[in-house]
Amino acid sequence: MKVARFTHLTSRNQIVCTRNIRPQAGRAQRSAQAQTQTCGFAYKQLTLQCAERWKLPALLIQLLRGSESLRAQLTRTCSNAARHVLDHSETSTQALAHDLVEAVGLIPNARIEWLIDGLVMLPEERRPEFLATAQALLAAQAP
């Protein structure tokens, strides 16, 4: 039996939760379930409560909740694209191309070429590769 230890803040300052938990086999038992089993709440709940008490911007709270509004989807897509632009691994080409295709679907009248031109951190030598990969993905999605 493993012991999990989590610390969280409440209105009464710090409370340390320590309970014995048995790890369950399988991918279904994710961290949120372990957090709830150990502390009685998931960290996402704590995060949302802190965000609301700290009066963080509404869009940020929507993103934390997993909102599917157009703004939230576009913000997530842009955040992913920024991470993939800076990544120089082989998988980043496919991931960034996917982000660009997703952005084309979210932004009316947007074209992949226009989006790639806006990626100022993307080295010039990598642009043709991203363009070709994104166009192939877009063509594959066409009805």
pLDDT per residue of the chain (143 residues) written in tens, 0 to 9: 343 444 444 444 444 444 444 444 433 235 777 778 888 887 878 888 898 999 998 878 877 787 677 888 888 888 889 888 888 887 888 899 999 999 999 998 999 999 999 998 888 998 998 899 999 998 998 77
Structure tokens at 81: 């694209």
Integer Cα distance of 16 and 141 in angstroms? 50
Q: How many CB atoms lie within 10 A of CB 57?
A: 9
pTM of the model: 0.57
Give, as one character, the DSSP assignment of residue 40. S
Structure tokens at 125: 């030598």
Structure tokens at 32: 């949120």
Q: Do residues 70 and 82 make contact, with C-beta atoms less than 8 angstroms apart?
A: no
Q: Do residues 107 and 95 make contact, with C-beta atoms less than 8 angstroms apart?
A: no
pLDDT score of 90: 79
Q: Do residues 96 and 118 make contact, with C-beta atoms less than 8 angstroms apart?
A: no
